[in-house]
Amino acid sequence: MNIRREIRKAIENLDENIQAPLDDVCRATKAPDFMILTQMLSVMSIAAQSLVDISPPVGMQRPVSLYVFILAKSGERKSTVDNLLMKPFRHYERSLATKTDVEHANYLNELELWEVKQKLLKKSLEKTHQDKAVFNEIAEDWRFHQLCKPIQPITRRVLIDDISGAKLKMMLSEKNSSLALTSDEGGTLLSSELIKDHSLFCSLWSGQTIRIDRANNTEILIDGARLTISIQVQPDIYKSFREKNGASFRSSGLDARFLFCEPASEIGYRFEDESVDGNQPFQDLDALRDFNARIDALLREGADCTTRHCLKMTDEAKRLWLQKHNQIEEHMKRGEYLRDYTDLGSKFMEQASRIAAVLHVFTHTDYQAHHVNYKTMDMAIRLTEIYLHQALKIFVKPEVKDMSDQKNADTLLAWIKQNWRNEWFLRSEIRRSGPYCMRNLGDLENAIEMLIATGDIYCFHKKQSLFISLSWDKYPDYIRYESRLEKDGRRIKGLVPYYGKYKSKKSLRVHLTRNLSDAFT
């Protein structure tokens, strides 16, 4: 699949009410269009999740909440896009906070009056304790008074970011709660303990009831809660996170519940109009204002919603759904391309159903009066296919990675031979001036590991520096005397042999240490 072509084709076929604001944001920020579209989907999901569920042709009624990971480098304008698209939520939360301030002031007044009356009733009880009839009458007033204690108003929230697991569970336990865990700098969230609670997020994604019992006899019941997750993070930070937590994320099934977006970078192509009148990128964003107004309307509708409407599909949409379901099932057979990704394949149609529901609610002001149609379902399947291939790129099988690494290793070896001057190469030097595919540190290190394993290069380290040489055993015509190896015309002392990250390789190259004392003294 040509991802860029498919993304462009999908965007061109979007409903005008989505395509136009996407173009507005893209023109204003010059951020990647796929990143903008993904963030728009998460925004629409937040607005729709409190209003509807979706009933697919096969399976039970499901939430429409989406979990989204956006992997984009620093400078791709993630925060700018986030500020533009999240504006209605922040305005809505401010209006809720203002309303709560008034309610809180009234609460304090009512509480003070309640406490005054309680003191009077207590004094009356103390005075009349000997008169049983009067005491019982006042006691009844006391019991009724306790039932009338003012309830402290709760500030309703929509967006949450830096939060503990206990606080999140408490907020989700409120009746029909609808929240969004968002972060445009996801490194902090990924390093928190909250993200490790896989079972909580898997259960919330499925809409399950969660009962939490504590040692102090308190109980938290999460029933009917909805949570959208939108995390934007730099690829290097995410890669580091995967190295530590990837196995548990995958085995728990949480990976399959996320839509992954790693857009092609626009850095280097974001040219501005050089005319003075042309540089007003955030002016005349009428389509974006309409988008935000629609999101605001859905938010306010959701605040008064007590029962979610269950969306159904038209017969044509059902047939398309079932046809795609069978295709995906076929691809999970032995020998097919999803055989090693059955977790992703198993969630494909549910992801497509959720996206279809989100698109339907946003584009239909009378969404309850209509079923999800064929066109919306077809668009949702297209988008889900794009997200699936993004995930396959991230979770590529080890042997496929090895093929890519082998190509990089061959490129690096050819470059070393071509530029060999009987001197050490520094790893940092290769990354800076070597082949373009070696600019990525991870790719460079993988290529070096493969060349060490095949015996094409010998490596030595000194502190944080890694020195690389062609193998004098394998390429004697390049290195006649290893003792002549220098760097910038001088000998390097204190080098320690480096055998690669894989200790199993060490025993295969023990002979490298022979006679090295002559080479570096």
Q: What is the pLDDT of residues 374-390, one digit of tens each?
A: 999 999 999 999 999 99
Taking residue 227's Cβ as centre, other Cβ atoms within 10 Å add up to: 26
SS3 of residue 4 by DSSP: helix
Taking residue 190's Cβ as centre, other Cβ atoms within 10 Å add up to: 20
Region 120-134: mean pLDDT is 84
Q: How far apart are CA 408 and CA 436, in angstroms?
A: 10
Considering the domain boundaries, does residue 2 fall inside one? no
Residues 204 and 265 in one domain: yes
pTM equals 0.71
Range of the structural domain that residue 77 is part of: 10-85+160-269+284-392
Query: Residue for token digits 């979610």?
Result: 308
How is residue 224 annotated by DSSP? S
Please, are residues 384 and 41 in contact by the beta-carbon 8 Å criterion?
no
Please, are residues 412 and 438 in contact by the beta-carbon 8 Å criterion?
yes
Q: How many helices (H) and strands (E) does the chain have?
A: 19, 13
Look at residue 254 in the predicted model and tell me its pLDDT. 92
Which residue spans within 306-382 are E strands per DSSP? 309-311
- Max mean pLDDT among 177-181, 209-213, 283-287, 369-373 falls in 369-373
* 447 CB-side CA count, 13 A: 26
Considering the domain boundaries, does residue 155 fall inside one? no
Q: How far apart are CA 265 and CA 235, in angstroms?
A: 12
Region 218-230: mean pLDDT is 89
Residues 438 and 381 in one domain: no
Residues 105 and 253 in one domain: no
Q: How far apart are CA 235 and CA 408, in angstroms?
A: 20
Considering the domain boundaries, does residue 126 fall inside one? yes
Look at residue 502 in the predicted model and tell me its pLDDT. 52
Lowest mean pLDDT among 20-29, 60-69, 149-158: 149-158
Look at residue 508 in the predicted model and tell me its pLDDT. 38
Residues 191 and 301 in one domain: yes
Residues 380 and 418 in one domain: no
The pLDDT tens digits for 42-55 are: 999 999 999 999 99
What CATH number has the domain bearing residue 440?
Answer: 1.10.10
Domain count, the chain: 3
Residues 22 and 105 in one domain: no
Region 161-180: mean pLDDT is 85
Triad 256, 257, 263: Cα angle to 5°: 80
Residues 33 and 142 in one domain: no
Considering the domain boundaries, does residue 340 fall inside one? yes
User: For the chain, what is the mean pLDDT?
Assistant: 85
Q: How far apart are CA 45 and CA 179, in angstroms?
A: 10
Residues 123 and 20 in one domain: no
The pLDDT tens digits for 86-103 are: 999 999 888 887 777 777
Residues 349 and 446 in one domain: no
How is residue 352 annotated by DSSP? H
Considering the domain boundaries, does residue 5 fall inside one? no
Region 477-491: mean pLDDT is 67
Domain final residue, candidates 372, 392, 412: 392
Residues 121 and 73 in one domain: no
Quick one: which of 32, 4, 7, 9 has its CA closest to 265? 32
Look at residue 483 in the predicted model and tell me its pLDDT. 52
Domain final residue, candidates 392, 416, 447: 392
Residues 415 and 488 in one domain: yes
SS3 of residue 100 by DSSP: helix
| Element of type H or E holding 331 | helix 315-331
Quick one: which of 318, 303, 348 has its CA closest to 154? 303
| Per-residue tokens: 333 | 């057979």
Quick one: which of 72, 79, 70 has its CA closest to 391? 70
Residues 64 and 29 in one domain: yes
